[in-house]
């Protein structure tokens, strides 16, 4: 079995999360690939580090990798998604961050998670992504996102106008600070904080959620994900911010962008005792009376 491990910035103080994971994997016949930056700063014993295979970019990984383990929060797992791309490698998130909707496995369950991976007793939850088309090819070979695409005004600039078309038909001009186009997976992220609905994974939809709209009667809209969403921005500034899962680029006024469903999906590892409904209920403290 081959397992890849990724993290973008763990607190490697005692106890070291990477060392704990490696210890759990040690009894098993596993070839372990570790992100090179993590390996550089992990301060592992020489005999342990020498048995690990470093990787730097997605090209270093192929379909022979049985699982990618992400150590960190949801942002770390989003980074891992850009590494696995369309390889089909399942991604497991161990939550060493805060909220953890995507990386929903707690560190306390790390040992049982490793056993499930090694024994292949996990299930794969397929998650849809969004794809961004722009004339400039702004995001290179990773023009996709698991959570959301967003278009923003810059810094303290005045609000912008976002002309929005669904499947070629005019929907609305949003006067707002920006607009979010979210997947069902991303419905519990930025979109939720701006008043968007929670959508269960597997629904074939996109959510359009305005950011601080000037018209108070404007509300989020849910549309089928097979319909392309075309956006054109207008405002006093000459450039604006585009964001895919937190990675931002600039776009000039007058350039249209098109958001569609990506042609591939991401395989997220989950276990029978860990489902989406349990996650949102527990993470959002539903039904818990905190008054006493």
Angstrom distance (rounded) from CA 48 to CA 22:
9
**In whole angstroms, how large is the CA radius of gyration of the chain?**
20
What are the tokens at 168? Answer: 């070629």
Cα–chain center distance at 15:
26
Q: How far is CA 67 from CA 70, 101, 109, 124, 239, in A?
A: 10, 19, 17, 11, 40
Q: Angle, nearest 10°, between helix axes 110-118 and 17-25?
A: 40
- 198's CB contacts (< 8 A; 6+ apart) are 187, 188, 192, 280
Cα-Cα-Cα-Cα dihedral sign, residues 84, 89, 93, 94: negative
What are the tokens at 162? Answer: 């976002």
Q: In what order do the strands lie in the sheet with 178-182?
A: 221-224, 205-211, 178-182, 148-152, 239-244, 247-252
Q: Mark whether 74 is an active-site residue.
A: yes
CA angle 61, 274, 18 (to 5 degrees): 45
- The enclosing H or E element of 113 equals helix 110-118
Pick the catalytic residue from 74, 79, 225, 245: 74
Give the active site residues: 74
């Amino acid at each position: 079995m081959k397992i890849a491990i990724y993290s973008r910035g763990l607190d490697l103080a005692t106890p070291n999360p990477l060392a704990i994971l490696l210890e759990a994997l040690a009894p098993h016949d596993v070839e372990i690939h570790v992100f090179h930056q993590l390996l550089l700063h992990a301060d592992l014993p020489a005999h342990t580090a020498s048995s690990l295979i470093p990787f730097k970019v997605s090209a270093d990984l192929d379909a022979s990798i049985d699982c990618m383990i992400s150590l960190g929060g949801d942002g770390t797992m989003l980074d891992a998604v850009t590494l696995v791309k369309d390889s089909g490698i399942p991604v497991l998130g161990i939550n060493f961050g805060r909220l953890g909707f995507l990386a929903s496995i707690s560190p306390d369950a790390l040992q049982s998670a490793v056993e499930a991976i090694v024994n292949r007793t996990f299930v794969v939850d397929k998650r849809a992504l969004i794809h961004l088309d722009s004339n400039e090819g702004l995001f290179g070979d990773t023009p996709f996102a698991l959570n959301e695409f967003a278009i923003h005004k810059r810094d303290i600039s005045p609000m912008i106008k976002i002309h929005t078309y669904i499947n070629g038909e005019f929907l609305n001009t949003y006067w707002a600070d920006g607009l979010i186009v979210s997947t069902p997976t991303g419905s519990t992220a930025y979109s939720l904080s701006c008043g968007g609905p929670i959508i269960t994974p597997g629904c074939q939809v996109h959510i359009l959620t305005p950011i601080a709209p000037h018209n108070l009667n404007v509300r989020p809209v849910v549309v089928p994900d097979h319909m392309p969403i075309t956006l054109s921005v207008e405002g006093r500034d000459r450039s604006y911010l585009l964001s895919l899962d937190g990675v931002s680029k600039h776009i000039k006024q007058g350039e249209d962008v098109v958001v569609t469903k990506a042609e591939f999906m991401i395989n997220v590892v989950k276990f029978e005792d860990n489902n989406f409904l349990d996650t949102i209920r527990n993470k959002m403290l539903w039904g818990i009376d905190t008054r006493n």
